[in-house]
Amino acid sequence: MTTITTRIDPAAVTNRTSRLRQMLAGAAVFDAAGGVFCLAAASDLARWLSIPRAAAYVTGAIFLVAAATGGVSLRREPPRVGWIVGANEVFALWCVLMLAVDGPNSLGVALLAVAGLSSAGTGAAELALARRS
């Protein structure tokens, strides 16, 4: 009988399962789902929030770009978060722009305000986690 001993480098395991990677992975999945939803239900979403349908399409496209950017960031070793933080901030600015220009109803204002704040907060958290790594 033969025994094989494998040494596992704790740094490698920790780096692949870090909080930053977990956050990037979760956000990429959420962004992809949000993008597909916005594109598939653009007419309904526009009606529910009282925004132009084109704005719903642009929102979906921004979500999908953020999802792809998050996926690319995850594949880097160590993860580079500059682009994904930028994508989060672009989405936050897009939400503020929609609030200022599109005149959404109460539900739209609440959703866009929460989305903008959470996107900006996510970008800040990713940046903070990257700096700690």
What is the DSSP track for the chain?
---------HHHHHHHT-HHHHHHHHHHHHHHHHHHHHHHTHHHHHHHHT--HHHHHHHHHHHHHHHHHHHHHHHSSS---HHHHHHHHHHHHHHHHHHHHT---HHHHHHHHHHHHHHHHHHHHHHHHHHH-
pLDDT in tens, 31-43: 999 999 999 999 9
Averaged pLDDT, 55-76: 92
Looking at residue 9, its pLDDT comes to 52
Residues 6 or more apart whose CB falls under 8 angstroms from that of 19 comprise: 129
Q: What are phi and psi of 51, to 5 degrees?
A: -125, 160
d(CA 58, CA 42): 10
Mean of all residue pLDDT scores within the chain: 88
Output the pTM of the full model: 0.81
